[in-house]
Structure 1
Amino acid sequence: MQGLHQASELPHLRRQKILLLLERDGKVMASELGQHFAVSEDTIRRDLAELAQAGLLQRVHGGALPRPKDTGKDYLTRIAEPNEVKTRLAQLAAQRVEEGQIVLFDSGTTTLQIAQSLPSGLSITAVTCSPMIAMTLAEHPGITVILAGGKLNPATMASGGHEALRLIQGVKADLLFTGVCAIHPEMGITSVHYDEVAVKQAMLDSASHVVAVTTADKLGAVEPFVVAPCTRLQTMITERFVPSDVIEAYRRMGVEVVQADV
């Protein structure tokens, strides 16, 4: 219980643990959480209120339930639809790849478009957990493709688990294109899927230069599971029409922000 008591001194850690308990149990009660974290029920109610305001759970009398399931389009549907903004961002990102590099490709529809945007004749070693990205890169005769194995997550169409982690941890990459569900100056990079957090963190640890490619709607957003602070990024590529104060928040942390002409 000592670790849980320590979490009471760090509200953001306590709220993260609340989300983990919610995912595990399917519901949480304020009275039980107060005992669990050795804090008052009023403190827990404030935690739940802030998490609900951020859209991370659904408040009910006496506690909270998971937020309603995302009814958005699935991965395969999204990659089949044209998106001019993502295409342009991916093209800019692909220009960052240099001959002979070892490049990590995180999962996601945007990183898939980066793979599709690489020029023919390029010679690199590519490492990914995404079978779809691996198949795209395999069309390039000069690209050596290493696919990390493991259990396939149908929501992300990427592999995970111990096998994937061991392979990623053994790589020293020049460049990483990291997938972004949400990115916030204070909360950092966050993900919808708990299962992919460890793989994303391993990729960040294995790369010399990290590039995040994100549409404007993901800036300032927060998802339930924290991957890493924004300071782990070297470069962020995003849309042109983003308020300057939003961009400056990332630049103050040392992140190079490149805005596309879309």
Structure 2
Amino acid sequence: MHAAIELPSLRRQKILLILERDGKVMASELSQHFAVSEDTIRRDLAELDSAGLVQRVHGGALPRPKDTGKDFFTRVSETDEVKTRLAQLAAGYVKNGQIVMFDSGSTTLQIARSLPSDIAITAVTASPMIAITLAEYPGIKVILAGGQINPSTLAVSGHETLRLLQGIKADLLFTGVCAIHPEVGISSLHFDEVPVKLAMLDSAAHVVAVTTADKLGAVEPFVVAPCARIHTLITERTVASGNIEDYRELGIEVVQMTAVD
């Protein structure tokens, strides 16, 4: 009797190990693996989801992204060598004369800081902090979208924001990434970010996503768009969850940072 009581908790621990290894779990496969019914597995996944350990999706579960609990000012003020090097790689995609959109986020802010000092572009953003950073470049013309500021992201949203973004055809977009999964797509923690991100995606000829490895294979509550909307993905050499080839199979150019970049 004692072993039977312990079995569900042991099975759930093993499910978490499989999830960490594979980047996703499917109820049907777990049912066969543990020789229990799919209803039993669904109850396991529901318990793990309630505990904040997984993100349930149709047919299974995905990793839940780690939340550092840090506000935006804290994140952007910290020195992050990985983000700095990723941003430097991304900055190489910017060419003189382009119209470039900058989505909100600490990584896109770092890209703005990494541009060559003599670059001459028109920059469009919904982030006041990124706009201020770009305004320091003598050769950059900055267009800042108006709207209501979200205190969590320090970016604007609303009808005025969308109207401006929809009226611009950009050469390049650096899209912010809360989470990205090859099957689920790009997703966000903030509902009001979704239409803004979609408007930027629709307005750009080439979309570059720059992200640390911990956001790959992760899922947030609000889905923005399929991964196929991204043309170039810049990330770390080591992927925390899943297989980087899954993104290449979607037709995405994947650029991984190396030790000498």
The bucket for the TM-score relative to the shorter chain is 0.7 to 0.9
Contact 2:121/2:140, CA 8 A, preserved across alignment: yes
Distance (whole Å) between structure 2 residues aligned to residue 55 and residue 148 of structure 1: 35
Helix, strand or coil: the match of 1:194? Answer: coil
Q: 2:217 aligns with which of 213, 220, 236?
A: 220
Corresponding position of 1:189: 186
TM-score (norm 2): 0.75
Q: How does 1:2-17 map to 2 (within 5 A)?
A: none
Go from structure 1 to structure 2 and tell me whether the alpha carbon gap of 1:123 and 1:216 turns closer, same or farther (over 3 Å shift): same
Provide closer, same or farther for how the CA distance between residues 125 and 151 of structure 1 changes in structure 2, counting only shifts above 3 A: same
Q: Which runs of 5+ in 1 are unaligned?
A: 1-41, 60-66
Give 3-state SS (helix, strand or coil) of 1:240's partner.
coil
Aligned to 1:174: 171
Among 156, 163, 166, the alignment partner of 2:153 is 156
Q: Cα offset for 1:49?
A: 2.4
Change (3 A) 1:54 1:148: farther
Equivalent of residue 103 in structure 1, options 100, 112, 120: 100
Residue 242 of structure 1 deviates from its aligned partner by 2.5
Q: Which runs of 5+ in 2 are unaligned?
A: 1-38, 57-63
- Mapped pair 1:233 → 2:230: yes
> Which has the higher relative contact order, 1 or 2, with Cα contacts under 8 A spaced 6 or more apart?
2
Please tell me whether residue 246 in structure 1 is matched to residue 234 in structure 2.
no
1:211 alignment partner AA? V
Superposed structure 1 runs of 4+ greater than 3 Å apart: 53-59
Alpha-carbon shift at residue 207 of structure 1 (Å): 0.3
User: How many aligned positions are there?
Assistant: 211
- Larger mean CA deviation between 162-171 and 240-249 belongs to 240-249
The whole-number CA distance in structure 1 between the counterparts of 2:50 and 2:255 is: 30
Which residue of the partner structure matches residue 118 of structure 1? 115
Q: Could you tell me how far apart the structure 1 residues matched to 2:208 and 2:47 are?
A: 30
Per the alignment, residue 92 of structure 1 pairs with 89
Measure the CA separation in 2 of the matches of 1:246 and 1:57.
18
Cα shift at 1:243: 7.2
Structure 1 residue 52 displacement after superposition: 2.0
Matching residue of 1:32: none
Offset at 1:53?
A: 7.0
Question: Letter of the aligned partner of 1:156 in structure 2?
Answer: T
> Shift of residue 58 of structure 1?
9.9
- Cα deviation for residue 121 of structure 1 reads 1.1
Q: Which residue of 114, 126, 134 maps to 1:137?
A: 134
Bigger Cα displacement from structure 2, 235-244 vs 113-122: 235-244
- CA-atom RMSD in angstroms: 2.7
1:54 and 1:222 in contact (8 A); partners too: no
1:73 corresponds in structure 2 to 70
